[in-house]
């Protein structure tokens, strides 16, 4: 059938995309660098296709990979749209370019056996910086799933939502998981407040939304031994309790309001993640217990939570911190999770944290969600460095110039003095064959990682975006191979512990 469809449509078909139902056959192909979706037979038909010919008495139609056809495909092929994943061991593989899904799925097939995968994953912040819409993020995942022939379903994550309107936009686009980020409401100074001022600061928390007084909460938490599911117990003295209430009380209240808004807005089954990872102060196990306990008391249901873990989870590089201290702290967080939950421990800024993946996989034993995003953009740049070295050199210099501005909303510590300049590159200190190696250098990785938005939108996208897409489209295999190799290293440590 592939040869016949190619002859009729003039497309180079992705063989893995050809799927037959009782009424029609669907497929994806390329004509030059443009991708098109096709259908043989029907009805029902995709909404925006035109007749290309006939095969065995059935009409063959072809149309663009646009939103109307993506939405239609999700109706006709349920596995082409997202689903809820629940407590299954999972990995979120964010895609800032909208091109990475086939490479991500190769990584899952090769190394991620048993893990559920989130393919449509992007934060509102990232969508704004890349000038993408929630619908575009969802549609790109659908086209990637069809191209690869993935039939196992996938999750979708509207990440780091901070405002009700963010929920509305991502609900409308069909997302199934919503990550609430109440970081703006966290009191990062709580650990440093002068002790005599604690009662006053606690009185300023949004106690109305918490549906309790400070004394109500004090009686609930202070002076008790809370047995932990993995053994031992947890105790909160009065000062620990007050600092936890001050630090996270308003964040809990914000999460509750967002959850209730989501329940009212949702038009289908959904799941919730809660994240306080992008804050200055680590979350102690006692604070985790307080946060989760209050969410549960107030009727919030969630499948995963991302505290601010001990150590530094900087973008694009390995974990920075003492591994033994991380293990001890993380074990206590897992104990809290198993006591209050179960739910999954979510690992944000999870890209490239290879030194702690074995620890996390062992201690959670499958109750974990790994979240990556920017590392896939870096692997796209690795492919570009191979296929279009001149373009990569331009991007690197531009990123270097933008770094000090773009780094402000990220946890990074790259030293620009260690990143090659345009002169370094121009005068041969780094030849073309060495360019891909720059993607393995700490400082260069971070500079490229956090400047993605500026690169993709420079001069309305004409300066780099169009050329990057052309370079990646010209050699899809190089792009997919880079993604599969790198993301495979991320998911492989978790596969032996995967729970369905």
Residues known to be catalytic: 159, 273
Which residue, 224, 242, 245, is CA-closest to 233?
224
- Residue linked to tokens 């239609």: 72
Q: Are 245 and 274 in contact (CB under 8 A)?
A: no
| End-to-end CA gap in the chain | 35
HSE at residue 299, side-chain half, CA atoms within 13 A, is: 9
Instruction: Note the Cα 94 to chain centre separation in Å.
Output: 4
Phi, psi torsion values for 125, nearest 5 degrees: -60, -45
Which residue, 105, 112, 229, 83, is CA-closest to 498?
112
Interatomic CA distance for residues 8 and 199, integer angstroms: 76
Q: What is the DSSP string of 395-460?
A: HHHHHHHHHHHHGGGS-----GGGS--HHHHHTTSS-GGGGGGGGGSHHHHHHHHHTHHHHHHGGG
Question: Could you give the angle at the alpha carbon of 341 between the alpha carbons of 336 and 347, nearest 5°?
Answer: 70
Q: Are 91 and 157 in contact (CB under 8 A)?
A: no
Q: Are 171 and 152 in contact (CB under 8 A)?
A: no
Within 10 A of 86 (CB to CB), how many other CB atoms are there? 15
Q: What is the DSSP string of 367-405?
A: -EEEEE-HHHHHHHHHHHHHH-HHHHHHHHHHHHHHHHH
HSE at residue 482, side-chain half, CA atoms within 13 A, is: 24
Interatomic CA distance for residues 251 and 363, integer angstroms: 27
Strand, helix or coil for residue 144: helix
Strand, helix or coil for residue 153: coil
Paired tokens of 19:
């799927």
């Amino acid at each position: 059938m592939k040869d016949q469809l190619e002859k009729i449509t003039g497309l180079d078909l992705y063989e893995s995309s050809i799927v037959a139902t009782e009424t029609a056959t669907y497929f994806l192909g390329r004509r030059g660098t443009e991708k098109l979706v096709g259908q043989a037979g029907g009805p029902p038909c995709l909404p925006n296709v035109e007749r290309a010919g006939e095969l065995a008495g059935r009409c063959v139609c072809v149309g663009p990979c646009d939103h109307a056809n993506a939405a239609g495909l999700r109706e006709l092929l349920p596995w082409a749209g997202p689903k809820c994943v629940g407590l299954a061991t999972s990995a979120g593989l964010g895609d800032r370019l909208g091109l990475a899904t086939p490479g991500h799925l190769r990584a899952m097939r090769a190394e991620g056996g048993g893990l559920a995968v989130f393919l449509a994953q992007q934060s509102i912040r990232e969508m704004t910086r890349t000038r993408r819409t929630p619908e575009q993020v969802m549609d790109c995942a659908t086209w990637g799933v069809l191209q690869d022939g993935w039939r196992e379903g996938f999750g979708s994550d509207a990440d780091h939502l901070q405002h009700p309107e963010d929920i509305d936009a991502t609900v409308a686009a069909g997302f199934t998981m919503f990550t609430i980020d109440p970081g703006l409401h966290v009191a990062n100074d709580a650990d440093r407040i002068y002790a005599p001022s604690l009662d006053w600061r606690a009185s300023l928390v949004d106690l109305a939304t918490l549906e309790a007084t400070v004394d109500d909460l004090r009686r609930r938490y202070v002076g008790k031994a809370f047995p932990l599911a993995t053994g031992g117990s947890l105790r909160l003295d009065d000062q620990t309790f007050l600092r936890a209430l001050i630090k996270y009380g308003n964040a809990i209240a914000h999460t509750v309001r967002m959850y209730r808004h989501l329940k009212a807005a949702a038009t289908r089954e959904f799941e919730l993640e809660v994240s306080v990872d992008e804050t200055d102060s680590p979350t102690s196990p006692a604070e985790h217990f307080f946060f989760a306990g209050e969410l549960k008391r107030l009727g919030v249901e969630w499948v995963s939570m991302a505290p601010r873990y001990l150590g530094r989870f900087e973008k694009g590089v390995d974990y920075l911190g003492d591994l033994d201290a991380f293990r001890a702290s993380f074990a206590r967080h897992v104990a809290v999770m198993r006591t209050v939950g179960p739910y999954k421990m979510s690992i944000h800024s999870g890209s490239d944290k290879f030194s702690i993946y074995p620890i996390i996989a062992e201690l959670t034993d499958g109750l974990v969600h790994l979240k990556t995003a920017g590392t896939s953009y870096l692997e796209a740049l690795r492919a570009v460095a191979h296929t279009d070295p001149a373009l990569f050199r331009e991007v690197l210099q531009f990123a270097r110039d933008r770094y000090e501005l773009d780094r402000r909303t990220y946890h990074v510590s790259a030293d620009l003095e260690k990143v090659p300049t345009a002169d370094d590159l121009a005068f041969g200190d780094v030849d073309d064959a060495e360019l891909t190696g720059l993607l393995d250098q700490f400082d260069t990785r971070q500079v490229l990682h956090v400047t993605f938005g500026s690169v993709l939108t420079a001069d309305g996208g004409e300066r780099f975006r169009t050329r990057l897409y052309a370079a990646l489209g010209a050699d899809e295999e190089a792009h997919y191979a880079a993604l599969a190799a790198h993301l495979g290293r991320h998911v492989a440590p978790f596969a032996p512990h995967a729970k369905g």
